[in-house]
Amino acid sequence: METLLDLWEPFTGPNAESFATLTSIRDTLSSLRWKPGSDSRVIASGDYDGVVMEYDLERRVPIFERDEHGGRRVWSVDYSHWDPVIGASGSDDGTMQMWDPRCEGGGCVATVQPGETRRASVAWSLIRLPGQR
């Protein structure tokens, strides 16, 4: 069943209308994150089916999809502040995965599985550490 995601412009008064409606969402969303540097044009979502998607809000279409968490709920998505194309997702499958849409098939750059417990949150550091590009 497809569901809807309506995005609303704040501060537009009592008769506000949504500025974007996306209908290609397959399951309940558990996380949303604006893509840095996209001028609020691209938003990523993680859902209960383990799918991470990016949407182009100007064209109102999905532009990237990956289903690498084995059908387990994605709790969190985030983007690197240093290279905002690279994203990360954390899931009930116990992994944190980094992905890059520029790789063939949007492949996984790295998978971290520190234990069997779920990864409820992922976040990139705002500080560049020594040795980082």
**Tens digits of pLDDT across the chain (133 residues):** 455 667 766 666 666 676 666 655 566 888 889 999 888 889 998 988 888 989 888 887 888 888 888 888 999 999 998 888 899 999 888 888 888 888 876 666 788 877 666 667 888 777 766 665 5
Give me the pLDDT at residue 125, please.
76
pLDDT of residue 112: 80
pLDDT reported for residue 88: 92
Residue 132: per-residue pLDDT: 58
- In this structure, what token pair is assigned to residue 57? 């809000």
- DSSP annotation string for 72-122: PPEEEEEE-SSSTT-EEEEETTS-EEEE-TTSGGG-EEEEE--SSS-----
Beta bridge partners of 16: none
Distance CA 111, CA 74 (A): 14
Domain 3-112, CATH among 2.130.10.10, 1.10.10.10, 3.90.190.20, 3.80.30.20 = 2.130.10.10
**Domain segments of the chain as ranges:** 3-112
46 closest CA partner among 67, 31, 35: 31
